[in-house]
Structure 1
Amino acid sequence: MSAIRVGVITVSDTASVDAAADRSGPTIQEIVRQRGHGCVRSTILPDDEQQIRETVKNWCNDAQNTVDWIISTGGTGFGVRDRTPEAIAPLLEREAAGIVHLLLAESLKRTPLAALSRPVAGTVGNTLVVTLPGSVKAVKENLEALFANGFIEHAIDLIKGGTGKQVHAAMGSGHGGAPHHHHHHHHDHHVPQPRSILSHDPSLPVYARHRVSPYPQISLEDALNMIVNEIQPLRVVSLPVTPALAGNILGEDVYAPQNVPSSKTTSVDGYALRSSDPPGTYKVLTSRTHALTDDLPEGSIFRINTGGPLPAGTDTVIMVEDTELLSTAKDANGQDAEEKEVKTLVQVPPNDNIREPGSDVHKGDLVLQRGDVLTSLGGEIGTLTFVGRKEVKVHRKPVVAILSTGNELLDLQSPNPLPSDGWGGVWDTNRPSLRAALEGMGYNVVDLGIVADDINSHVKAIKQGLESADLLLTTGGTSMGASDLLKPVVERQFGGTIHFGRVSMKPGKPTTFARIPTVQGEHERKFMFALPGNPASALVTFYVFVIPALRKLGGWPSERCHLPRVRVKLGDAMRLDSRVEFHRVIVKAGEEGLRATSTGGQRSSRVASLSGANGLVQLPTKREGGPDRLEAGSYANAVIIGELQM
């Protein structure tokens, strides 16, 4: 039979707040993939009966994104908040008591505590729904039982109207017709099975490709939430405190290891002396002629510069402006070389012009907090240096691999001529523009070049990107063309999950966000964005989607992952679309606030619409019966992507 389309629901109050706490959901998805099936939907819900029931109902009734089997994990015990059975049971049209018995029997083999579990199972329409416990161990045990002897495949084949002949044939092959277990050993030479079967099969003829995208068009808000919820920060590492830390996020609280200043210092240029010294003539001593630890002799003052420590025996500082030079010492050539005698014109009170020990920072003071951004403005790096930190713990910044796809593309710096067919091709604009943006933000970039429109080239490039970087960023190959291979390769060659393949936005509808399992990833998975090939679309979607992902990987606080949004007054009328549109603008600050002026034509292939742009006005969708444009002088929200102009 064909691969089963699985939806996974994790029920947990804790994981709904912190997705990193969900271990059972990813375990289910991985086991499903290993069995050759696809996880086409996943979500994390709190222990809320209504939310659980509505989600299951919506998934079962969604004809555009059919799910064959819904697996929930969590909320099946006797805890006060355990309400998963109560949420799902009323939906079941045909209960599957045999599956419930199978799950309980399998768990009771391991522990008598399994008797406290309350699983339910049955069908809603043509979808099988099964509830599993919340522990990873129980999930593995229960799924092993369900997959044994092709049981679950047989059940779903029957639910979908099949006869079960295919499953019986598969079970009977190889062992004289006797049922047997399929053991799934992992070997490098096995091609990973897809998690999803939504993409077209590129091995089929062109006429067999999809005519309508199988990927649901999700809202901008849902897409952004999915990115931030799916991605987890990279590990914390210790790095030396240098300007290269700019853009990192602190992974620890930083406390002052000592008082700053550590002793009394001066806040002005002048001379240290005793507050009891009256105005008069004094001999000038310096650090070359007097040790700081020795008491200052009577009749002397000590020349001192701003920030310098006071010598023993002194308690105040007189400013240079309150003194007169009386005489100088000569060098070997008879030239004036050093101050010899100075006349003080006033008597200075105690502690005048002095910074006390710890007056800037006391030992033990919290000077920077975990989660603080070490900006390129210098203040945070300066603070770390100021308190004497040579190393500090930070979240590792992600490395980004970039590539462009398309046989029609040429590299401007090293063009390889295309076959002579009367057309010269187009320059690859996306890699240079994205690389400039990434490196300008302090990210290291691995440039994988231009990738040809064939499966082997795609597999080789993606494999290299997964090995060398934390995030893979591609452009082109995301639409409905027969040579658009990114989604099929991710799903079919790498066993990846396409979290979304279309977004209701303009430009950038075919933007794709995927997760790929990998042994190199810190979380055993890495993420990929496949951006549209049109240059303006690629840059807009980079700022809207990729920047939040990079920041989340780098440990940025969730509330700061997105670029800042501000309210602007429109200098031009802007047409509305049925989708959310990002209009490229120049934002200037004036006496009346922020004003946004259009950069002109907004066609997605016109990269010049982003030349000079420092903002993206987020236009609302056109409503039935509403205006078809926002007039000049009205207000809208804008994403700030560059420095504001005056």
Structure 2
Amino acid sequence: MSGIRVGILTGTLVSDTASRDHTADKSGPTIKAILEDQRLECKEYAIVPDEEDEVRRVVQDWCQGAVVDLLVTTGGTGFGTRDRTPEAITPLLEREAPGLVHLILSSSLKRTPFAALSRPIAGTIKDTLVLTLPGSVKAVRENLEALIANGVLAHAVDLIRGGSGSDVHTQLSSSSSGSSTQPAHHHHHHHHHDGHAHSIPRTRTNNPLSADPSSNVPARQRVSPYPMVSVKDALVLILQEIQTLKPQELPVNSNLRGCVLAEDVIAISQIPPTPTSNVDGYALRSTNEPGVYDVLTEYSEVLPEGNVICRVNTGGAIPQGADAVIMVEDTQVHSTEIDSAGQQEEKQVRTLAQIPPGENVRQSGSDVRVGDIVMEKGQVIAGAGGEIGTLAFVGRTKVNVHPKPVVGLLSTGNELRDLNGTNTHGTTWDTNRPSLQVALEAMGYEVVDLGIVPDDLTSHVKALQQGLSSTDILITTGGTSMGTSDLLKPAIEHSLNGTVHFGRVNVKPGKPTTFAMVPTPGGRNESVPVFALPGNPASALVTFNVFVVPALRKLGGYTGERCHLPRIRVKVIDLPLPLLQDQMRLDPRPEYHRVVIVSEHEGLKAYSTGGQRSSRVASLAGANGLVALPQKRDDGPALLDVGEMAEAVLIGELHMRF
């Protein structure tokens, strides 16, 4: 049976204990040992909490993604109130296998009549065979022995994968009849997906999870087929999938603000090229004693011999022969004359001090020498002016940078009405496009406005294709839930051959946030990231700052933690009790609470902006931060206490109050 990929899922009955203590799961390792002894490859192993949604999520993920050929669950098939594995998996089965169910039951009934209380199911989901076994080690061994005997299991998998069964028959005829089905007595390492042992999220294949948009409305999905991912895993997937834009040589001007250098900037000449003055004054020889000197008011490359000094300004070159500069403040006008323009001019000055060699002189190359690296690859050209000034300082007129991505922006929904009057039939003002556009342009990004897209598949595909051909990243809002008019995921997967890497995030607000990659062969880039944000205004802006900004920065050449907006520690200030109870109550999902962060004498304090309903965009008016509230635990507090410190994402400038 070599070549068969297996996924093992420890299901409901034992998972309450097993998910807290992996050593409590005995049946999962038993299955793994028996199947590996038959030369099957155990690709996945997971323990999930005792809930239908969690069991269904893992099963969908493994089967829809073609991760395994055989999926075996253990536990949750009895008559207990929490035995829900059959209920979780049955709706997913495309073809049931009653014969395998009969084989499983009959093998156990030979040993105990209590096997009649088991409710196993079997069948196929896509190209994966799914079997549900009891939770006891004894029953698992008995069932697997019956399934493996005479090649039943291998034959079934071979047929599901499109084989004729001939390989299995050949293998059976040549194999030993005494093959052991007992587990090997050695230690195994397991790959857990239960949240207790974190692993890097897997990239999805482009097998669609969304429903075919051409199917009848009554047949549409009632529960999202997309696994719920954590914020952490969502960000890992985003930065893992998105590739930085290729470098370009661009002019050195203000448009470089926000770009990332794609080269080391190396000085090709020394600065200053010749000795220059640090002050306004007169270049002279350090041997000149205090006294009266003739003044050269025009620059001369060479200081003449004799009783002569040369007037210089700050930054001006020092003539050869001079080795010091005396400040204007250390001189007096001795005599004047009328120059050719009829203006009174200095003729002689009196120096009041003797100046040591090198005084007030910037030596050649004292700021930058030839070959010095003045700016490093990966440095961000900020808007404060220092980086542009440095490039100008060394004479660079062009520089290689990762360009800022061009952003496509569209809203979806027949109900939306455009502020500019192009769509007057809707009943709700389109809030998301204007708010996201101003946020993007404030960050220095060019925005292509793709307008409002009506709720039909053709319009969705046309608008997305336009954005894919003209931008580096697409942001959409609305159309990400489970309604009949929520067409973004189907359009991406079924019409554009895109891959939805996640379609639900365990976060509040923003649960239906979606991230996909769409191939664009022959286009601006090999593929274009697409973010489908929720339609509620506050949700759209929060998820934009949490998920889209890191994507924009990764495209633009940012690396590591710099892809994310700054995070700071703030103190939740003393709000009136009713407001605190209403607005800072912890939720089962991690939540981003909109706040105004103020720098005061005592430190940084966070003031809630009030009601946090996802449709209430006013909660973001004036907000410059998002306090990251932890999810509520059964054994934890229900509120974030006044005076507690919390982490906040900084999305705007700090306010000051002293």
For residue 206 of structure 2, the aligned residue among 182, 187, 195 is 195
Counterpart position of 1:159? 160
Question: Secondary structure at 2:63's aligned position in 1?
Answer: coil
The change in CA–CA distance for 1:632 and 1:53 in structure 2 (over 3 A counts) is farther
Question: Secondary structure at 2:249's aligned position in 1?
Answer: strand
The change in CA–CA distance for 1:491 and 1:268 in structure 2 (over 3 A counts) is same
Residue type of the alignment partner of 2:636:
G
The correspondence of residues 429-440 of structure 1 with structure 2, limited to 5 A, is 429-440=431-442
The correspondence of residues 94-493 of structure 1 with structure 2, limited to 5 A, is 127=128, 158-159=159-160, 195-287=206-298, 290-292=299-301, 294-331=302-339, 335-336=343-344, 338-418=345-425, 425-493=427-495
Counterpart check, 1:629 vs 2:613: no
Counterpart position of 1:504? 506
Counterpart position of 2:610? 600
How far residue 158 of structure 1 moved from its aligned partner, in angstroms, is 3.2
2:595–2:607: 8 Å Cα contact kept in structure 1?
yes
Counterpart position of 2:551? 549
1:501–1:511: 8 Å Cα contact kept in structure 2?
yes
1:70–1:128: 8 Å Cα contact kept in structure 2?
no
Counterpart position of 1:585? 595
Counterpart position of 1:187? none
How far residue 159 of structure 1 moved from its aligned partner, in angstroms, is 3.0
| CA shift digits 1:270-311 (9 cap, x unpaired) | 110111111111222133xx531x333422211111111101
Q: Which ranges in structure 1 are unaligned for 5 or more consecutive residues? A: 1-5, 9-51, 73-122, 130-153, 165-193, 419-423
Counterpart position of 1:615? 625
How far residue 56 of structure 1 moved from its aligned partner, in angstroms, is 2.2
- Aligned counterparts of 1:435 and 1:69: Cα–Cα separation in 2: 35
How far residue 156 of structure 1 moved from its aligned partner, in angstroms, is 6.5
2:63–2:126: 8 Å Cα contact kept in structure 1?
no
The change in CA–CA distance for 1:561 and 1:437 in structure 2 (over 3 A counts) is same
1:587–1:614: 8 Å Cα contact kept in structure 2?
yes
| CA shift digits 1:420-462 (9 cap, x unpaired) | xxxx611111111111011111111100011111111111100
Residue type of the alignment partner of 1:57:
Y
- Aligned counterparts of 2:591 and 2:482: Cα–Cα separation in 1: 21
The change in CA–CA distance for 1:261 and 1:605 in structure 2 (over 3 A counts) is same
How far residue 347 of structure 1 moved from its aligned partner, in angstroms, is 1.0
- Aligned counterparts of 1:128 and 1:389: Cα–Cα separation in 2: 63
The correspondence of residues 4-43 of structure 1 with structure 2, limited to 5 A, is none
The change in CA–CA distance for 1:576 and 1:197 in structure 2 (over 3 A counts) is same
Question: Secondary structure at 1:506's aligned position in 2?
Answer: coil
| CA shift digits 1:134-160 (9 cap, x unpaired) | xxxxxxxxxxxxxxxxxxxx9879338
Q: Structure 2-normalised TM-score?
A: 0.70
Counterpart check, 1:495 vs 2:509: no
Residue type of the alignment partner of 1:607:
V
Residue type of the alignment partner of 2:328:
V
Question: Secondary structure at 2:245's aligned position in 1?
Answer: coil
How far residue 629 of structure 1 moved from its aligned partner, in angstroms, is 0.8
- Aligned counterparts of 1:124 and 1:492: Cα–Cα separation in 2: 19
Larger radius of gyration: 2
The correspondence of residues 514-593 of structure 1 with structure 2, limited to 5 A, is 514-521=516-523, 524-571=526-573, 572=575, 573=580, 574-593=584-603
How far residue 384 of structure 1 moved from its aligned partner, in angstroms, is 1.2
Residue type of the alignment partner of 1:373:
V
The change in CA–CA distance for 1:416 and 1:390 in structure 2 (over 3 A counts) is closer
- Aligned counterparts of 1:354 and 1:555: Cα–Cα separation in 2: 40
How far residue 592 of structure 1 moved from its aligned partner, in angstroms, is 1.9
| CA shift digits 1:364-410 (9 cap, x unpaired) | 11111111111111111111111112221111221100000011111
Aligned structure 1 segments of 4 or more residues deviating by more than 6 angstroms = 123-126, 154-157, 160-164
- Aligned counterparts of 1:53 and 1:534: Cα–Cα separation in 2: 45
- Aligned counterparts of 2:640 and 2:511: Cα–Cα separation in 1: 22
1:68–1:128: 8 Å Cα contact kept in structure 2?
no
How far residue 327 of structure 1 moved from its aligned partner, in angstroms, is 2.7
Question: Secondary structure at 2:239's aligned position in 1?
Answer: helix
- Aligned counterparts of 1:481 and 1:389: Cα–Cα separation in 2: 55
- Aligned counterparts of 2:283 and 2:508: Cα–Cα separation in 1: 68
Identity of aligned residues (%): 58
2:467–2:474: 8 Å Cα contact kept in structure 1?
yes
How far residue 559 of structure 1 moved from its aligned partner, in angstroms, is 2.0
Question: Secondary structure at 1:492's aligned position in 2?
Answer: helix
Residue type of the alignment partner of 1:319:
M
2:332–2:349: 8 Å Cα contact kept in structure 1?
yes
1:448–1:461: 8 Å Cα contact kept in structure 2?
yes
The change in CA–CA distance for 1:405 and 1:558 in structure 2 (over 3 A counts) is same
Counterpart position of 2:191? none
2:503–2:515: 8 Å Cα contact kept in structure 1?
yes
Residue type of the alignment partner of 2:484:
A
- Aligned counterparts of 2:517 and 2:504: Cα–Cα separation in 1: 15
Residue type of the alignment partner of 1:587:
I
1:260–1:359: 8 Å Cα contact kept in structure 2?
yes
Residue type of the alignment partner of 1:291:
S
Residue type of the alignment partner of 1:63:
V
1:255–1:368: 8 Å Cα contact kept in structure 2?
yes
2:65–2:207: 8 Å Cα contact kept in structure 1?
no
1:68–1:156: 8 Å Cα contact kept in structure 2?
no
- Aligned counterparts of 2:430 and 2:317: Cα–Cα separation in 1: 60
The change in CA–CA distance for 1:392 and 1:53 in structure 2 (over 3 A counts) is farther
| CA shift digits 1:151-202 (9 cap, x unpaired) | xxx98793389999xxxxxxxxxxxxxxxxxxxxxxxxxxxxx932311222
Question: Secondary structure at 1:325's aligned position in 2?
Answer: strand
How far residue 570 of structure 1 moved from its aligned partner, in angstroms, is 0.6
How far residue 58 of structure 1 moved from its aligned partner, in angstroms, is 3.9
- Aligned counterparts of 1:558 and 1:159: Cα–Cα separation in 2: 43
Question: Secondary structure at 2:635's aligned position in 1?
Answer: coil
Q: Structure 1-normalised TM-score?
A: 0.71
How far residue 330 of structure 1 moved from its aligned partner, in angstroms, is 2.1
1:59–1:67: 8 Å Cα contact kept in structure 2?
no
How far residue 608 of structure 1 moved from its aligned partner, in angstroms, is 1.0
| CA shift digits 1:194-219 (9 cap, x unpaired) | 93231122222322221111111111
2:472–2:525: 8 Å Cα contact kept in structure 1?
no
- Aligned counterparts of 2:483 and 2:234: Cα–Cα separation in 1: 23
| CA shift digits 1:316-371 (9 cap, x unpaired) | 000010011223332578552x2222111111111101111111112111111111
- Aligned counterparts of 2:637 and 2:305: Cα–Cα separation in 1: 86
2:303–2:310: 8 Å Cα contact kept in structure 1?
no
2:594–2:620: 8 Å Cα contact kept in structure 1?
yes
Aligned residues: 486
How far residue 54 of structure 1 moved from its aligned partner, in angstroms, is 7.4
Counterpart check, 1:56 vs 2:51: no
- Aligned counterparts of 1:474 and 1:611: Cα–Cα separation in 2: 21
Counterpart position of 1:67? 63
- Aligned counterparts of 1:458 and 1:380: Cα–Cα separation in 2: 42
Residue type of the alignment partner of 2:614:
S
Give the alignment's Cα RMSD to 1 decimal: 2.9
Residue type of the alignment partner of 1:158:
L
The change in CA–CA distance for 1:472 and 1:334 in structure 2 (over 3 A counts) is closer
1:296–1:311: 8 Å Cα contact kept in structure 2?
no
Residue type of the alignment partner of 1:225:
V
